[in-house]
Amino acid sequence: MCQLWNCCTLTLNGEYLASDGAISTGHVVQKPIPAACAAIGDSKSEGPSWQQCYDRYLEQRRVRVRPESLVEIISRLGIAERILEAAKRDTNQPEGLLMSDVSTLDKLEYLQERLLAGDECRYDERSPNTVNSLMGAVMAFIRFCHSRGWVTAVPKLERLESDEVMKGRPVTEAEFQQMLDATESVVGKGSAESWKFALRVLWESGFRIGDLMDFSWNDSRHIHPIWPTQKGQFSTVMVPSSQKNGRVQEIPMLPGLAELLEQVPVKLRTGWIVNPAGLEVELQGSEISFRPSVEDLRKLAQRYSNVAIATACGVSEAAVRKWLKRHGIQSCGSQQEHTVMTANQIERLRSRAERCLGSPIRRTENRLTKERVGRVIGLIGLEADIVVQLEDSRVQRRKKFASAHDIRRGLAQRLINAGVSAETLKVVMRHKDFATTERHYGALRSAQSAAAEISTRLAPSTENSAFVGGLVGGHKKTPPLSAEELLSLKSLLARL
């Protein structure tokens, strides 16, 4: 099997699942994708395999999309492949996917249904929006294959009906304070201040989590502040083209962010602006789990499947894949046994194990990835019990707690409440298209504008017209007229 597939499979099946889906861009950047392993023309008579087409697709996408987009492609196609391969195993069909099998309407609808049911997901089900996004990646792959004549047609798959709504809501100021209060209990006393500073930068900037971790004091290759050099100028933020919308932008620095950054001593204004302290993590394994020695692991990989090894060691299959990857051990594929090891075999392995009986492992992280920071902020939202989305089985929506993106939404809400125009909001939020601003925040803006208009028009008037004011001697609040005064006024008007 080719080097590319080994790399991508280990990343997706091992690190991807172990990290709950958090594959960092570094996996793609540090492990360049080589040329396709086999020529498509060498395929068997039944047509090319998924593997051959996948290799060629990634080779083509690698130089045409951003690293973050390539990560998403690998992740989504990996999920689809594992679901389709599991379907073949369940029906006792030969291993290996052919594009001619995958690119049928029946097979794509089956994949759509299994994605919706939560297959290959850490939740019990997926939302229709998420499924549509995953299927979009699969359909793009099939269209690529069709354009090269590797599949005969592109089925017309019907999208699932979905709500065009936020996956969450804006965090309020009171809720943000709750998150600050909960920070120490999540990250520890020693790391709390650096994490609170990171949260405050998010709150005052509206950054995405990737922007937060790319925020530098003075490196022009990264997002960085521009301080005014002349009277009358305002502080701004320069954003390079490496951002999500692919544009070089200079955006206004919001007053709260400028005030926050100015509080940092000048001598400390170097390197990264936000650098939350690494977490010291203690992992406590189960009492029956153990990790075999490298030599035993090498022998086991030649004979047993990952599932059999995981069962014997009392760990997950993802953990076994990580062990194999760490030590560069290759398995024998279809020649592996899926049988359960005997108790005597397991005890012998345990006696020579590198770690056993759930002994703790202490791991200290330094500069954190954006994925890790995002997950920690999610844990802070959970600890603070800030629910931004209630469970709703009618639209397959699960309960969701505050995340970094909900803090970003909080900034947008504050700007809307302050009367900032939609055009300015688009600039601050750095949406590529105005349609994005309108889709996510248009309803909020419309509601605020409508409320302001209604309040203005229906509020009791505190000023008099010139005519009435003249009658009572000036522009003061007019007292109600008595019945006698009303009759006098009517008589006066009748004589005019």
326 shares a domain with 290: yes
Residue type, 335: Q
Q: What is the DSSP letter of 472?
A: H
What percentage of the chain has pLDDT greater than the value 90?
Answer: 36
Shared-domain flag, residues 410 and 263: yes
Check whether residue 62 and residue 125 sit in a common domain. Answer: yes
Find the mean pLDDT for residues 460-477: 50
Query: Is 29's pLDDT higher than 70?
Result: no
Quick one: 335 and 394 in the same domain? no
Number of domains in the chain: 4
Same domain assignment for residues 58 and 45? yes
159: DSSP letter: P
Asked if residues 423 and 393 have their Cβ atoms less than 8 Å apart, the reply is no
Whether the predicted pLDDT of 157 surpasses 70:
yes
Q: Looking at the domain assignment, is residue 314 inside a domain?
A: yes
Q: Taking 60 as the threshold, does the pLDDT of residue 474 lie above it?
A: no
| Same domain membership, residue 383 and residue 257 | yes
Which has more confidence, 232 or 157?
A: 157
User: What is the C-alpha to C-alpha distance for residues 190 and 174, in angstroms, rounded to an integer?
Assistant: 24
How far CA 242 is from CA of 65, 67, 69, 221, 434, in Å, comes to 12, 10, 12, 9, 20
Q: Is residue 300's pLDDT more than 50?
A: yes
- For residue 152, tell me if it sits in a domain: no
- How many CB atoms lie under 10 A from the CB of residue 52? 23
Mean pLDDT of 340-352: 86
Amino acid, single-letter form, for residue 348:
R
For position 181, which CATH number holds?
1.10.443.10
- Summarised one tens digit per residue, pLDDT across range 407-451 is 999 998 898 888 888 788 888 888 776 565 666 565 566 666 666
In one-letter notation, the amino acid at residue 37 is C
> Looking at the domain assignment, is residue 155 inside a domain?
no
d(CA 318, CA 18): 6
* H or E element, residue 236: strand 236-239
The answer to the question of residue 158 being in a domain is no
Residue 176 and residue 258 in one domain: yes
By the 10 Å C-beta count (0-12 exposed, 13-18 middle, 19+ buried), 348 is classed as: middle
37 in a structural domain: yes
Instruction: Say what the pLDDT of residue 78 is.
Output: 92
Same domain, 260 and 395: yes
User: Where a domain ends, among 120, 147, 174?
Assistant: 147
What residues contact residue 141 under an 8 Å CB cut-off, 6+ apart?
A: 53, 54, 57, 77
- Please tell me the distance from the alpha carbon of residue 200 to that of residue 195, in angstroms, as a whole number: 9
Identify the three-state secondary structure at position 280.
Answer: strand
Task: Say if residue 182's pLDDT is above 80.
Answer: yes
Residues 245 and 66: their CA atoms lie apart, in Å, by 11
Judge whether 159 lies within some domain: no
Integer CA distances (angstroms), 447 to 232, 302, 428, 450, 493, in order: 34, 64, 20, 5, 43
Position 16 scores a pLDDT of: 41
Least confident of 23-37, 121-135, 181-195, 363-377: 23-37
Residues 370 and 265 in one domain: yes
Q: How confident is the model at residue 281 (pLDDT cuts 50, 70, 90)?
A: low
CB burial of 219-250 (b: ≥16 within 10 Å; e: otherwise) equals eeebbbbeeeeeeeeebbbebeebbeeeeeee
Cα torsion 244, 58, 371, 225: sign: negative
**Of 305 and 466, the one with more pLDDT:** 305
Is the same domain home to 187 and 230?
A: yes
Whether the per-residue pLDDT at 204 is higher than 70: the answer is yes
Q: Which of 346, 364, 382 is the last residue of a domain?
A: 364
Residue 450 has a pLDDT of 65
Residue 41 DSSP code: G
Per the domain annotation, does 161 fall within a domain? no
Residue 157 falls within a domain, yes or no?
Answer: no
Same domain? For 349 and 385 the reply is: no
Boundaries of domain holding 453 = 166-279+365-459
DSSP-assigned states of every residue in 363-398:
EE--SPPHHHHHHHHHHHHHHTT-EEE--BGGGTB-
Say what the pTM is. 0.59
- Pair 299, 387 in one domain: no
DSSP 304: B
Using one digit for the tens of pLDDT, what is the confidence trace for 78-102? 999 999 988 888 888 887 899 988 9
Please answer whether residues 122 and 20 qualify as being in contact, where contact means their C-beta atoms are separated by less than 8 angstroms.
yes
